[in-house]
């Protein structure tokens, strides 16, 4: 048949095929995979918001809400000019003189923390809500002013030294916590979503139908993660240092090691969570279930020490706790890598465990 005679012989062996020309750096599959991965992240505005803008907004908002203010002036009221005069000597009290009805009203609606009224026999009666810290403070300040106006002399002289050093404020506590939370979020979301999405779109299957070395695919995620990490960490720390003067007392190298290790560990967790899931919904459920307990327990916003002693060993074993503890120790106490060994150990254990398990479970389709 004519259809068979005209056909050129194409069943050539590998050796007969044109030898591959040497590839330039940018033509290397690992470089291409990394570039593509990086571009995909940059072109995802939502992802950029959560990675870069969100931690800054959160730090800014909380930093302002919990900023260390000079002790607040408390509003109180009284009904007689004599009492008002005595109370006004206390600088931390703002005293209003009101008629009885208006004073009642102000106390009931919380406009004032305390109402001082004269009692029988030159006594003074303080009316306040003792469950409100402001009320209790106002009680002490008001009573001290009244007693001193009446001639009381303190038997012991006292004076104050004020502590408002960078490093011991709430914002100093918060920034390393946010940094750790960000490392976790961007690595787990970044790994989990994109892998599951690529599986759902059968892109993973398409990729393994090419000669792409499979390990390059995973490696490209790690490399692009590291590129993003530099920007992520830089922005949060830079913001903290610039706006709130949050210190970094440890060496930057140790800090970089902790960030890198933390990010790799969370990437491995993300990979594990994404190893089988076929839908975004399934993956996102898994990721939330894993991250939520750590957001709460690992001391992002408040010290993990507040949880009962029995659960402390479990909390300490969480990767986010280890990451945040290490970041805080480095930034606030200047701890070096040797001092951070326990946290580094915890992170490394999670990294190896999750990565090995993820490779075992991973499905390309």
Site for other proteins (CB under 8 A): which residue of 48, 62, 149, 212?
A: 212
Sequence-distant (≥ 6) Cβ neighbours of residue 32 within 8 angstroms: 26
Q: In angstroms, what is the minimal distance from the CB of 53 to other proteins?
A: 19
Q: In angstroms, what is the minimal distance from the CB of 347 to other proteins?
A: 31
Stretch that binds other proteins, among 16-24, 136-144, 180-188, 271-279 (CB under 8 A): 16-24
Coil, strand or helix: which one is 126? strand
Q: In angstroms, what is the minimal distance from the CB of 36 to other proteins?
A: 5
145 touches 136 (CB < 8 A): no
Nearer to other proteins, 127 or 276 (CB): 276
Tell me the backbone φ, ψ of residue 173, rounded to 5 degrees: -70, -40
Stretch that binds other proteins, among 1-9, 83-91, 181-189, 330-338 (CB under 8 A): 1-9
Nearer to other proteins, 2 or 305 (CB): 2
Coil, strand or helix: which one is 17? coil
| Strands of the chain, DSSP E | 74-78, 93-97, 114-118, 124-128
Stretch that binds other proteins, among 80-88, 152-160, 198-206, 330-338 (CB under 8 A): 198-206
| Phi-psi category of residue 84: left, alpha or beta, with phi > 0 → left and psi -120 to 50 → alpha | alpha
Nearer to other proteins, 48 or 296 (CB): 48
DSSP class of 277:
-
What angle is formed at CA 63 by the lines to CA 59 and CA 65, rounded to 5 degrees? 120
Q: In angstroms, what is the minimal distance from the CB of 45 to other proteins?
A: 11
Best CA proximity match to 362, nearest among 257, 277, 296: 277
Rule CB under 8 A: is residue 198 a binding residue for other proteins? Answer: yes
Chain mean position to CA 115: 42
Rule CB under 8 A: is residue 121 a binding residue for other proteins? Answer: no
Interface with other proteins (CB under 8 A): 3-4, 7-12, 14, 17-18, 20-21, 23, 27-29, 31-33, 35-36, 39-40, 43-44, 198, 201-203, 205-206, 208-212, 365
């Amino acid at each position: 048949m004519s259809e068979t005679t005209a056909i050129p012989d194409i069943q050539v062996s590998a050796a007969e095929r044109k030898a591959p020309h040497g590839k330039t750096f940018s033509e290397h599959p690992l470089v291409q995979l990394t570039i593509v991965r990086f571009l995909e992240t940059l072109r995802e505005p939502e992802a950029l918001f959560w990675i870069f803008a969100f931690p800054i907004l959160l730090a800014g908002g909380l930093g302002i809400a919990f900023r260390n203010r000079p002790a607040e002036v408390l509003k109180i009221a009284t009904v007689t000019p004599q009492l008002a005069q005595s109370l006004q000597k206390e600088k931390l009290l703002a005293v209003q003189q009101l008629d009885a009805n208006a004073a009642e009203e102000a106390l009931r609606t919380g406009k004032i923390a305390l109402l001082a009224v004269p009692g029988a026999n030159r006594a003074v009666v303080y009316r306040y809500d003792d469950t409100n810290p402001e009320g209790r403070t106002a009680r002490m300040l008001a009573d001290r002013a009244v007693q001193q106006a009446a001639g009381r002399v303190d038997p012991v002289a006292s004076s104050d030294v004020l502590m408002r050093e960078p490093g011991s404020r709430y914002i100093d506590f918060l920034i390393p916590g946010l940094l750790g939370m960000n490392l976790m979020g961007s690595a787990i979301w970044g790994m989990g979503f994109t892998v599951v999405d690529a599986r759902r779109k059968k892109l993973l299957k398409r990729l393994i139908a090419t000669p792409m070395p499979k390990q390059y695919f995973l490696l490209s995620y790690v490399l692009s993660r590291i590129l993003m990490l530099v920007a992520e960490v830089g922005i949060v720390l830079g913001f903290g240092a610039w706006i709130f003067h949050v210190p970094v007392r440890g060496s930057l190298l140790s800090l970089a090691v902790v960030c890198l290790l933390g990010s790799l560990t969370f990437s491995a967790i993300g990979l594990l969570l994404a190893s089988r899931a076929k839908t975004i919904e399934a993956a996102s459920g898994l990721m939330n279930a894993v991250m939520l307990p750590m957001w709460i327990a690992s001391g992002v916003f408040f010290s993990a020490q507040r949880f009962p002693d029995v659960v402390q060993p479990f909390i300490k074993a969480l990767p986010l706790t280890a990451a945040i503890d290490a970041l805080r120790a480095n930034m606030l106490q200047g701890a070096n890598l040797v001092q951070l060994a326990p946290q580094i150990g915890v992170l490394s254990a999670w990294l190896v465990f999750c990565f090995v398990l993820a490779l075992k479970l991973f499905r390309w389709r």
